């Protein structure tokens, strides 16, 4: 089967699997135990913390290992709000956030917080002017993703960070889709916190990390939690973390090569679609996007039908974020960019990875053409 759903998850790399096996065998001790077997696990854990911090130009003390991107988003927002209650109870986010951020903000509204959900333009980019206008005296936190998981558009984090630094407002970003794919510098972007995940970059599932700048105040969500310096409960998964960091280092070191390859594949796909004059609308075609993600719509055909037909032809694509699959609601991202409900339901996503070839992309275009021809007939 041709796999074109790398934005949903990736297979573990051979190197990450090897690291997991070796660490599970030789560093099985609980990193909180005080005997030599435990302290060797703790030493490896701290090495992993240092290496992760280097990749985002952060400080080792700011890295907290978690179960993944969604938990990192949850812990970041909750612990920062709890630790900065005096600053206010107003937060700002966007209408196109990952569900782990968006739904949490909806819950916070029910708890008495005031939340401003920023509009986006037709390509999915926020307006800095609207952001500045939305800031109030009691604005405590702004949470804006680095790249959208459905369309791949990249938000102007540096400009946002500069604005929020001037206003002394905390800034969190969901960087799950961008980590390992484009450079991230927490100092340059003025990020108070960010979230990253292992299974998006060929590491194991169930592992991720949260970064909170050590100069920023936060309070633990779980009272009495003893792991990760009080951030969360539960024995730390040292083999999983070591495997994650190994996968991240490989992605980080091959970032430019991967970018060039993905850009070629993206250009190849777009050229093929245009050559065949297919009734396909490319989302955010003129915006800055992650090259490995292509969001598109086939006019007049539901995305769910396209996905199932591609699956029948042994090609795996998606209808958007895997965390929202099962919902019959149209894509929230598409609706926010001005699409009708009918147009939003047409959305599908192709995403490339390290094993994607030109032949895979050509097969996907051929499958879409066949489907369109069948519908027309």
Catalytic residues: 323
Count CB-CB contacts under 10 A for residue 52: 24
Cα–Cα dist 123/160, whole Å: 17
Distance in Å from the first CA to the final CA of the chain: 27
Cα–Cα dist 153/295, whole Å: 10
Cα–Cα dist 359/265, whole Å: 10
Partnered with residue 348 across adjacent β-strands are: 296
Cα–Cα dist 70/209, whole Å: 10
């Amino acid at each position: 089967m041709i796999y074109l759903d790398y934005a949903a998850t990736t297979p573990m790399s051979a190197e990450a699997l090897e690291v997991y096996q070796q660490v599970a065998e030789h560093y099985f001790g609980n990193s909180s135990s005080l005997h030599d077997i435990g302290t060797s696990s703790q030493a490896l854990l701290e090495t992993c913390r240092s290496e992760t911090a280097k990749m985002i130009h952060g400080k080792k003390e700011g890295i907290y290992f978690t179960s993944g991107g969604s938990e990192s988003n949850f812990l970041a927002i909750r612990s920062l709000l709890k630790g900065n209650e005096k600053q206010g109870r107003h937060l700002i986010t966007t209408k196109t956030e990952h569900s782990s951020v968006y739904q949490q903000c909806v819950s916070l509204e029910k708890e008495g917080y005031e939340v401003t959900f920023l509009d986006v333009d037709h390509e999915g980019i926020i307006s800095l002017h609207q952001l500045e206008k939305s800031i109030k005296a009691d604005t405590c936190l702004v949470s804006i993703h680095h790249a959208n998981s459905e369309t791949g558009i990249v938000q102007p984090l540096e400009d946002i960070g500069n604005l929020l630094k001037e206003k002394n407002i905390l800034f969190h970003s969901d960087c799950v889709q961008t980590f390992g794919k484009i450079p991230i510098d927490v100092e340059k972007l003025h990020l108070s916190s960010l979230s990253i995940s292992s299974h998006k970059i060929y590491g194991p599932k169930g592992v991720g990390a949260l970064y909170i700048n050590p100069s920023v105040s936060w309070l633990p969500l779980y009272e009495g939690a003893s792991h990760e310096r009080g951030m969360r409960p539960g024995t730390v998964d040292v083999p999983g973390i070591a495997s994650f960091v190994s996968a991240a280092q490989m992605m980080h070191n091959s970032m430019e090569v991967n970018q060039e390859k993905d850009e070629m594949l993206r250009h190849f796909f777009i050229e093929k679609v245009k050559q065949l004059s297919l009734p396909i609308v490319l989302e955010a075609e003129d915006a800055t996007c992650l090259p490995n993600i292509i969001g598109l719509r086939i006019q007049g055909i539901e995305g769910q039908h396209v996905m199932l037909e591609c699956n029948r032809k042994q090609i795996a694509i998606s209808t958007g974020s895997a965390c929202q699959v099962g919902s019959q609601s149209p894509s929230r991202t598409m609706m926010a960019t001005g699409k009708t409900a009918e147009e939003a339901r047409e959305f599908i996503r192709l995403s490339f990875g390290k094993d994607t070839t030109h032949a895979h992309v050509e097969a996907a275009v051929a499958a879409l053409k066949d489907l369109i021809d069948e519908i027309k007939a």
